[in-house]
Amino acid sequence: MTDEIKQWEYRVQTVGSFLGGVKADELEALLNAWGEEGWEVVSTHILENANKINVIAKRPLTDRVKRTRSMPSYGGR
């Protein structure tokens, strides 16, 4: 049994608008889509004067993503 250190990839997205704020149904749709892609929200940060939030998520880093990052022309094909 090996003690492998888990590696993560992260995603940050700003949600909301100055005039409209954060709409619950749009946030829910975003979170459901991310969940289907394997993302787990780990934190949020409210941008108080902008009526927006930053949503921070992570998922395990895959070999495919590592290859794509190290060889951008590879493109995950």
Give the pLDDT score at 12: 98
Question: Nearest Cα to 60, choosing from 22, 4, 13?
Answer: 4
Domains of the chain, earliest start first: 8-69 (3.30.1660)
The confidence band for 48, taking pLDDT boundaries of 50, 70 and 90, is: confident
The confidence band for 1, taking pLDDT boundaries of 50, 70 and 90, is: low
Task: Give yes or no for residue 18 having a pLDDT over 70.
Answer: yes
Mean pLDDT computed over 18-45: 95
Mention every residue, 6+ apart, whose C-beta is less than 8 A from residue 60. 6, 7, 8, 9, 38
Q: Which two three-digit tokens encode residue 55?
A: 């949503």
Task: Give yes or no for residue 11 having a pLDDT over 60.
Answer: yes
